Amino acid sequence: MKGLRAAFGVIVIASAAFSASALAEEKVSVQSLIGQGFQVVGTIPSQVGPGVFLQNKDKLFFCVVVETSTSADVGTRYCKPVH
CA 66 to chain centroid, in Å, comes to: 16
Neighbouring-strand partners of residue 79? 63
Q: What residues contact 44, with CB distance under 8 A and at least 6 apart? A: 50, 51, 53
3-state secondary structure of 64: strand
Helix or strand run (H / E) with residue 7:
helix 2-25
Query: Is residue 6 scored above 60 in pLDDT?
Result: no
Query: Is residue 8 scored above 80 in pLDDT?
Result: no
pTM over 0.85: no
Mean pLDDT, the chain, rounded, equals 81
Domain boundaries, the chain: 2-81
